[in-house]
Amino acid sequence: WVVFVPSVIPGELVQLRIYRNFASYSSADLLSVLSPSPHRVSPQCSIANECGGCQYQHVDVGYQRKWKRMHVVELLERIGGIEREEGERVVKETVGTDEVYNYRSKLTPHYEAPRDRTEIDVIGFQRKQIRQLIDVPSCVIATEEINEALPGVRQRVNDRLKAGELKKKKGATLLLRHANEGVIFDHNQYVTTNVLDLQFKFKAGNFFQNNPYMLPNMVNYVVDQAKGEIGGEMTHLVDCYCGSGLFCLSASKSFDVCVGIEVNDKAVEEAQQNAALNGITNCEFIAASAEQIFYGGQVQSYPKDKTCVVIDPPRKGASEEFLEQLLKFGPKRIVYMSCGPDTQARDTKILLAEKKYKLSEVVPFDLFPQTRHIESCAVFERS
């Protein structure tokens, strides 16, 4: 029988209270820690045990990263069909930086429908284990600049409520995006941020990785793995699910030809603008679903022994149709970045099924310290 309880560490003896039973497990609240783990630390946030934004503040960072690596190993075994010994070999240590607090450059607190209230006193995030908001007046993983701006944003919500400008039937999600221009609140305002020697311009509300301290390490790794070792370098890059061009543009100096494909046409426009902004002329961006990149056209003429395909799909992973097309195309190397190690493990099983590829290595990246979230990069070589 499994009991899920937050804010504990494996091996601890705890006192808990079960509040709900299901068919095969129970959910419980933590009452006290009777025998603490040597890896237990005091959270910097006073509401860390209640707020659902962070799950690991009670665990020292080194142990967080150890468990994140182990989680990737276990998923590859359970879902990907990789033997445990092989998983231990290919999954490397989790890569992180010393910036484990005040690193997050985007914050999106919520508030619920005001209805007949005269004041909105809860603006924050969902509580642990229950669908209810908890008030978050400041956030220890957000940048200091965001925390300085947050009180004013919260006050403006209530000012708008008193002025009758808020919709009574629904709440909203606020935006605080820290970029070169400062802290921006308008989803549609263009902002810029620097990654290594490139500048990227995008709408503040659009997706862009929000740990500027960790991002250069991740980008360097993807580019290094994509281009290959001296003497066996790739010349052509295909970047699928390319977004606003982060990996494609960052790798442009290392390849003769780069093409990115993205279903979101607005993101493609941003990628094209970012290429022009940085004076990059060997990157082309196409607005289409990733599956279409291998249907005829220029990519089919790329030399497969000199082509690397980079994929960075959403959390749901790549589609079976895309993976079938990818296997049929057969590039020399595949670099698969994922924000969902479970779906990455699922897709790994498909990529390895026909023994056309071998899994060279997997590197977890700690983009979100204090939370359970992991970015994982898997590198596949054609057999």
CA 198 – CA 238 distance, rounded (Å): 19
| Tokens at 122, concatenated | 């809860």
Q: Yes or no: say if 310 and 246 are a contact pair by the CB < 8 Å rule.
A: no
pTM assigned to the model: 0.94
- Assigned CATH for 2-60: 2.40.50.140
What's the mean pLDDT in 96-108? Answer: 98
Does the pLDDT at position 100 exceed 70? yes
Q: In the chain, list all ranges with CATH 2.40.50.140.
A: 2-60
Pair 202, 187: CB distance under 8 Å:
no
CATH 3.40.50.150 in the chain, residues? 66-98+211-382
Query: 150 with 137: CB under 8 angstroms?
Result: yes
Percent of the chain's residues with pLDDT above 70 = 99
The per-residue pLDDT for 231 is: 62
Q: Tell me the per-residue pLDDT of 197-250, one tens digit each, with 9 for 90 and over.
A: 999 999 999 999 999 999 999 999 999 999 987 667 899 999 999 999 999 999
Average pLDDT across the chain, whole number: 95
For residue 349, the surrounding DSSP H or E stretch is helix 341-353
Mean pLDDT of the region 261-284: 96
Whole-number Å distance between alpha carbons of 200 and 202: 7
- For residue 296, what pLDDT band results from cuts at 50, 70 and 90? low
Return the bridge partners of 341, or none: none
Residues contacting residue 378 through CB under 8 Å, at least 6 positions apart: 335, 336, 338, 344, 348, 359, 361, 362
Q: Confirm whether residue 262 is marked as ligand binding.
A: yes
Give me the architecture of the 66-98+211-382 domain, per CATH: 3-Layer(aba) Sandwich (3.40)
**368 φ, ψ to 5°?**
-130, 70
CB count in 10 Å sphere of residue 256 = 12
Active site residues: 339
The CA distance from 361 to 226, in Å, is 13
Give the percent of the chain with pLDDT over 90: 89
Q: Each residue of 198-221: b (16+ CB within 10 Å) or e?
A: bebbbbbbbebbbbbbbbebbbeb
Q: Which of 230 and 76 is assigned the larger pLDDT? A: 76
Q: Any binding-site annotation on 44?
A: no
Name the residue with higher pLDDT: 108 or 297.
108
132 is an annotated ligand-binding site residue: no
Does 209 carry a binding-site annotation? yes
Which tokens hold the place of 222?
């993807």
The average pLDDT across 153-175 equals 90
